[in-house]
Amino acid sequence: MTSIKKKFFFIILFFYFLIGSFNSINTGISFDEKHEQLNWDFHVELIHEVTESITSNKKFDKKKFDQEVKSFVGYGIGFQIISQPIQYILKDLLISSENPNIYAAKLLAKHFVVFLFFFISGIFFYLILKKIIDNENFCILGTIIYLTYPYLFGQSMFSPKDVPFMSVWLICTYVSFILIEEIINKDKLNLKYVIIFSLSTAYLLSIRFAGILIFIQYLVILLIFLNFYKINFTKFFKKYYSNLIILILTLIFFIFLFYPIFWINPFLLIETFKISASHFNNVGTMTFGKIMYSKDLPINYLLLWFAVKIPLLILIGLIILPLSEKKIFNNKKKGIFFGTILLSILLISLILILKRVHLYDEIRQVMFLVPLIFIIGLTSLFIYSNKIFYILSVISISLFVTENIKINPYQYVWFNLPARYFDLTKNFELEYQGISGREISKFLNQPDTKSLCVLANPLWSVKPFLNDRKFDCFDIWQKIETNYKRPFYAVQNVRNLKRASPYKCQSIYETNFNLFFHKKNIVTGKLLKCE
């Protein structure tokens, strides 16, 4: 029976992969994607200059990179190592009448890679659940809930930083569990796992240096393990010091390998620490009707957004956690894994709040915590009542699948059932990534629309999809407030939707969708004609 279940699960995963892959290359271009591509272009030039200076004794021109280095110091080339070869293979295949621009094709090719990362994270999500609760039905249903969760599925269509970061965080979590298991079961550490551990950790840091937070999780699992098995820290260190030295050395090696910026100046590591905890812009996020700015966030910012973004099923699991946690900790090994995830969520969240880290765009920047929250909620609910878990799981999966189809491609704008009591348009940040630009461009490309200048923010969310023979005049949205020559089109998306329409600009087209149990349509983008 178990093998039949697994085969059925594999068939589901196969079709899920095909649907997700197809959907990813048919989703619009988001706000961050240009910066991610520029990050790669910058590093390519940097690597070329460094290589040339070594091979031909040419003096390295450090000043050439000084101005740009701060823009990319918090990001390595980990994601690009995988995405660039795939981009090279797919980009020519994606050029069509709908995607006339090679730049659009290049960025869309990376969408597939982002989804691939998310899909792989589902495998490790399953494996982590298996470590905590060895029940096939629970693990399969839990993984399907995770993979069909509209918010994450929507982000996996385009988000080149946050989704890979979240996915690799899960991989690191699983590898750390394997290391602890090695010590518990065999009383030794396999060198292979030590190197995999340092490689995966360095790779996480290469996507976003904020991955340094994973060391909190590593410290938590070590301390819980030592406490559960009443092992003296000094004795532990003496026994495994050679493994720890290898781990540290390989970790440093991989970090420098994935961060070419450190090749020219290792001290930029300090600057990277600073950048990772802040943001150069003071970005405002509409939260329960108030614009909360990243440099002055209230203490409850994260809690408010988790309350409206985390599915009701998971929230119920979190609420009843005090009733089920004792049963989980009856097994030492499983208790270590569960306790690590639970305590890591609490500690990392607390650090982010107390250090007043600049956050914006709802929970996007803490997306790596979402799978961990899911694991806690799902486990708690299953331990409390298998029956309730199965009933709520089937209902949740049915709703998730239906809404993924219904609101495509705006799944990441999804809100949970309690949040739908509020007027979502008035109270929350919605389509802040600008992917509606692709849908709006289809309207502009119609034969009966006039050939006028197009203003947008971000411009690259629209421009790559427009017919170059028809539109050759583009500018940024901010020019709309000046005496810009009229008439022109203005694409109103991202945070501009929260503003009133500019002077003598009329809405001629809008993109929208509707969630179940929510009365109003959610507008994701508008096309204005400014006479």
The model's pLDDT over 138-175, given as tens digits with 9 standing for 90+, comes to 999 999 999 999 999 999 999 999 999 999 999 999 99
Is residue 320 over pLDDT 70? yes
Q: Tell me the C-alpha distance between 468 and 22, whole Å.
A: 25
Side chain identity, residue 120: I
Q: Is the CB of residue 249 less than 8 Å from the CB of residue 201? A: no
Phi-psi region of 188 (alpha: psi -120 to 50; beta: other; left: phi over 0): beta
190-247 pLDDT tens trace: 999 999 999 999 999 999 988 999 999 999 999 999 999 999 989 999 999 999 999 9
What distances in angstroms separate CA 287 from CA 283, 432, 457, 521, 524, one per listed residue? 12, 13, 21, 19, 17
Quick one: pLDDT at residue 67?
66
Cis peptide preceding 502, ω within 30 of 0: no
Is residue 510 over pLDDT 90? yes
| More confident of the two residues 356 and 381 | 381
Side chain identity, residue 205: L
Quick one: pLDDT at residue 327?
85
Is residue 309 over pLDDT 70? yes
Is residue 276 over pLDDT 70? no
Is residue 2 over pLDDT 70? no
Mean of pLDDT values over 28-53 = 85
pLDDT confidence of 496, banded at 50, 70, 90? low
Is residue 101 over pLDDT 80? no
Cβ atoms < 10 Å from Cβ of 475: 16
Question: Which residue in the block uniquely carries the two structure tokens 């010091």?
Answer: 241
Q: Name the residue among 325, 429, 310, 320 with its Cα closest to residue 374.
A: 310
Q: Name the residue among 253, 124, 233, 236 with its Cα closest to residue 189.
A: 236
Burial label, 170 (beta-carbon count in 10 A; 0-12, 13-18, 19+): buried
pTM of the model: 0.94
Q: Is the CB of residue 195 less than 8 Å from the CB of residue 250? A: yes
Quick one: pLDDT at residue 4?
83
Q: What pairing do the DSSP bridges indicate for beta strands 488-492 and 453-456?
A: parallel
| More confident of the two residues 322 and 460 | 322
Cβ atoms < 10 Å from Cβ of 502: 16
| More confident of the two residues 173 and 498 | 173
Q: Is the CB of residue 484 less than 8 Å from the CB of residue 475? A: yes
Quick one: pLDDT at residue 382?
97
459-478 pLDDT tens trace: 888 988 888 778 889 998 88
Quick one: pLDDT at residue 329?
83
Is residue 278 over pLDDT 60? no
Cis peptide preceding 458, ω within 30 of 0: yes
Q: Is the CB of residue 168 less than 8 Å from the CB of residue 420? A: no
Q: Tell me the C-alpha distance between 144 and 122, whole Å.
A: 8
Quick one: pLDDT at residue 498?
65
Is residue 1 over pLDDT 60? no
Q: Tell me the C-alpha distance between 419 and 416, whole Å.
A: 6
| More confident of the two residues 105 and 338 | 338
Mean of pLDDT values over 43-53 = 82
| More confident of the two residues 311 and 266 | 311
Mean of pLDDT values over 475-494 = 86
- What DSSP assignment string belongs to 484-505? PPSSEEEEE-GGGGGSPPPTTE
Is residue 279 over pLDDT 60? no
Three-state DSSP class for 173?
helix
What distances in angstroms separate CA 236 from CA 222, 243, 336, 456, one per listed residue? 10, 11, 17, 59
What average pLDDT does the chain have?
Answer: 90
Q: Residues, the chain, total?
A: 531
Q: Tell me the C-alpha distance between 359 and 364, whole Å.
A: 9
pLDDT confidence of 312, banded at 50, 70, 90? very high
Quote the tokens at residue 70: 């701060």
Mean of pLDDT values over 172-186 = 95
Q: Tell me the C-alpha distance between 288 and 426, whole Å.
A: 8
Question: What are residue 506's phi and psi, to 5 degrees?
Answer: -115, 135
Q: Name the residue among 313, 326, 315, 335 with its Cα closest to residue 389.
A: 313
Quick one: pLDDT at residue 480?
81
Q: Tell me the C-alpha distance between 278 and 34, whole Å.
A: 20
Mean of pLDDT values over 443-452 = 91
Least confident of 388-397, 419-428, 481-490: 481-490
Q: Tell me the C-alpha distance between 328 and 86, whole Å.
A: 42
What percent of the chain is modeled with pLDDT above 70? 93
Three-state DSSP class for 127?
helix
| More confident of the two residues 68 and 521 | 521
Three-state DSSP class for 233?
helix
Three-state DSSP class for 34?
helix
- What DSSP assignment string belongs to 253-267? HHHHHH-THHHH-TT
What percent of the chain is modeled with pLDDT above 90? 67
What distances in angstroms separate CA 263 from CA 97, 355, 393, one per listed residue? 43, 30, 49
Q: Considering only CA atoms, give the Rg of the chain.
A: 24
Side chain identity, residue 358: H
Q: Tell me the C-alpha distance between 214 and 207, whole Å.
A: 13
Question: Which residue in the block uniquely carries the two structure tokens 């101005």?
Answer: 67
| More confident of the two residues 279 and 130 | 130
Q: Tell me the C-alpha distance between 282 and 509, whole Å.
A: 31
Q: Is the CB of residue 444 less than 8 Å from the CB of residue 489? A: yes
Side chain identity, residue 363: I
Quote the tokens at residue 488: 């022109």
Q: Tell me the C-alpha distance between 261 and 263, whole Å.
A: 5
